A and B are shown apart, each in its own frame.
Chain A
């Protein structure tokens, strides 16, 4: 497991069956993974702030390993630090917005500053709490968590990977923030595969465009690549499940030799996947880059799909961006004009 990314991108492709039709809830994966972990390690505890309903099985079977702090995230995370200082491995769970914002200082100062072994499972990331409105959306969490020293940030794609990420976090030293969704998500992985924190997964090869995605946007990137293939545009798709430490080698390998790079995320366009990839591309003189994500605003209400669609975090937008990269280059060659700008419709073939 864990061969390093190589310069030849095609050699990085993971041998795994992909199925976007099967669905599952990543919170259920967390419940199952915790049940497995507690059997392996008596130091494991589950801490929650009145959100124990997301771990019904664990709560039933391991009552003595659950500490509920009520609706008091700051105290919960401070206490997690205290437990870790006494040798326990606390897994803290509540909504991603409350871990990353309500108790941000406890995460940073109590846990990350002394580099304690506390794991955070923040669910309901992005706009997966759609119609509960912006108070419950988490579209800043990656930016916040990524800028905290010692913090590892993981956004698994689908329930299978969520299960693997929780188990991997237990083995990974220091604080880890797992950013997960809620509700039905594409399972994606239809056969077993190795998962390693810090090692991105190349899911598909193609010589024209590189698409980097995280969490629920991975299935969109794969669907877009499938459709683009029929048009003759071939995309590389990389699941950048670990946002920190970022797999720079994979970014470089995937972004080398293509006409353009696209990032797709359910996060503010500032501070998330697009920013992280842009940092590497700029330093390595690679690109051009199109970032697809939530513009710098508070989202409207709706289903997660409706909200993402509204802000063009969609299959259609990935396709438009890919076409523009391919077309733009052709035009430059023939007409010596600047790349096509403006609405995607104009450039649609």
Chain B
């Protein structure tokens, strides 16, 4: 495995930190949103949209494009920020997040939002849609890959495991599931609500190749996602260990931040922390 470009990693880290700031402002303004889960997947999403995915906002219907499905649709804050930065739509749209009759809702609608490949929000649906897209790619002999980002709590839904079974059966090595393993769901720590560990073993049991990574280590994310599939003929599951609310000290590992917007004071404090981190990284 080739060593990753240090400049690239630094750029992506800077971008991810900037996106966290944008999300804090966006959700403070909206007065609502799933901030904690969006923060935990910010590094993964930044790597995907700004290095891994072969997508071009000027050719959103290119049949050869990679597909990305945010199965955990409530993490849409980070998706919207990435899509706006990519140029799928204007940055101004972010100002009307969750507003009446506007475009960016609390779960993404593919018919309204350019760049969104599937309407998600009800958990346990994205991987099956990804299976269908991957099957179509195989039939059409197109080289595209299908990346599906799943929440860990989402894996409680049995439909994921139906999808996992079929992806192995149909040898869908063009399908990559990424699990944002932040260890929290609405009611508390995942292991208290419904035991998920050992997660990677579960995927292996269904025949998938797996990798376990630090979901906040940009070099590791880039390295792993640049080398998929791990094994030809098999789907890949990447379990990314993350921290819910990552980047803002008082939000980290606090289940209350699963669905909550910062007050103006909290937002100011969060932005201060993120800016300090930016200065540190910039040096």
Asked if B186 is an interface residue, CB under 8 A from chain A, the answer is no
Asked if A70 is an interface residue, CB under 8 A from chain B, the answer is yes
Query: Binary interface profile of A, 73-102, with partner B (CB < 8 Å = 1, else 0)?
Result: 011111111111111101000000000000
Hey, which chain B residues are within 8 Å of A70, CB to CB?
Answer: 162, 165-166, 169
Asked if B266 is an interface residue, CB under 8 A from chain A, the answer is no
Instruction: Tell me the chain A residues, 105-160 only, with Cβ under 8 Å from chain B.
Output: 105-106, 109-110, 113-115
Asked if B114 is an interface residue, CB under 8 A from chain A, the answer is no
The docked-state distance in angstroms from the alpha carbon of A88 to that of B128 is 15
Hey, which chain B residues are within 8 Å of A84, CB to CB?
Answer: 132
Q: Is the CB–CB distance between B132 and A81 below 8 Å?
A: yes
Residue ID in chain A nearest B158 by CB atoms:
A74
Q: Is the CB–CB distance between B117 and A85 below 8 Å?
A: yes
Hey, which chain B residues are within 8 Å of A83, CB to CB?
Answer: 132-133, 135-136
Q: Is the CB–CB distance between B159 and A67 below 8 Å?
A: no
Query: Which of A75, A85, A86, A109 contacts B122 (CB under 8 A)?
Result: A109
The docked-state distance in angstroms from the alpha carbon of A290 to that of B137 is 52
Residue ID in chain A nearest B159 by CB atoms:
A74
Query: Which of A86, A90, A110 contacts B137 (CB under 8 A)?
Result: A86
Most buried by A among B122, B130, B131, B169: B131
Hey, which chain A residues are within 8 Å of B131, CB to CB?
Answer: 75, 78-79, 82
User: Contacts A86-B137, A115-B111: A80 and B132 contacting too (C-beta < 8 A)?
Assistant: yes
The docked-state distance in angstroms from the alpha carbon of A87 to that of B137 is 10
Hey, which chain A residues are within 8 Å of B129, CB to CB?
Answer: 78-79, 81-82, 85, 110
User: Contacts A78-B159, A82-B132, A109-B122: A114 and B111 contacting too (C-beta < 8 A)?
Assistant: yes
Q: Is the CB–CB distance between B111 and A87 below 8 Å?
A: no
Asked if B63 is an interface residue, CB under 8 A from chain A, the answer is yes
User: Contacts A85-B129, A86-B133, A109-B122: A79 and B166 contacting too (C-beta < 8 A)?
Assistant: yes
Interface residues on A, range: 20 to 34
Residue ID in chain A nearest B130 by CB atoms:
A82
Q: Is the CB–CB distance between B125 and A82 below 8 Å?
A: no
Query: Which of A69, A86, A105 contacts B166 (CB under 8 A)?
Result: A69
Hey, which chain B residues are within 8 Å of A72, CB to CB?
Answer: 162, 165-166
Can you give 8 A-B contacts (C-beta < 8 A)? A69-B166, A75-B128, A78-B127, A79-B128, A79-B132, A81-B132, A83-B132, A86-B132
The docked-state distance in angstroms from the alpha carbon of A33 to that of B125 is 30
Q: Is the CB–CB distance between B166 and A85 below 8 Å?
A: no
The count of chain B contact residues (Cβ–Cβ below 8 Å) is 32
Instruction: Tell me the chain B residues, 124-167 only, with Cβ under 8 Å from chain A.
Output: 124-125, 127-137, 139-140, 158-159, 162-163, 165-166
Hey, which chain A residues are within 8 Å of B130, CB to CB?
Answer: 82
- Per DSSP, are chain B's interface residues mostly helix, strand or loop, or mixed? helix
Instruction: Tell me the chain B residues, 101-118 only, with Cβ under 8 Å from chain A.
Output: 109-111, 117-118
Most buried by B among A69, A72, A78: A78
User: Contacts A83-B135, A110-B129: A78 and B119 contacting too (C-beta < 8 A)?
Assistant: no
Q: Is the CB–CB distance between B128 and A74 below 8 Å?
A: yes
Query: Binary interface profile of A, 33-77, with partner B (CB < 8 Å = 1, else 0)?
Result: 000000000000000000000000000000000010110101111
Q: Is the CB–CB distance between A85 and B118 below 8 Å?
A: yes
The docked-state distance in angstroms from the alpha carbon of A74 to that of B157 is 11
CB distance from A262 to the nearest CB of B (A): 40
CB distance from A92 to the nearest CB of B (A): 11
Q: Is the CB–CB distance between A82 and B166 below 8 Å?
A: no
Q: Is the CB–CB distance between A75 and B159 below 8 Å?
A: yes
The docked-state distance in angstroms from the alpha carbon of A113 to that of B122 is 12
Query: Which of A74, A77, A82, A106 contacts B135 (CB under 8 A)?
Result: A82
Query: Binary interface profile of B, 65-100, with partner A (CB < 8 Å = 1, else 0)?
Result: 000000000000000000000000000000000000
Residue ID in chain B nearest A85 by CB atoms:
B133
Hey, which chain A residues are within 8 Å of B125, CB to CB?
Answer: 78, 105-106, 109-110
The docked-state distance in angstroms from the alpha carbon of A75 to that of B172 is 15
Hey, which chain A residues are within 8 Å of B133, CB to CB?
Answer: 82-83, 85-86
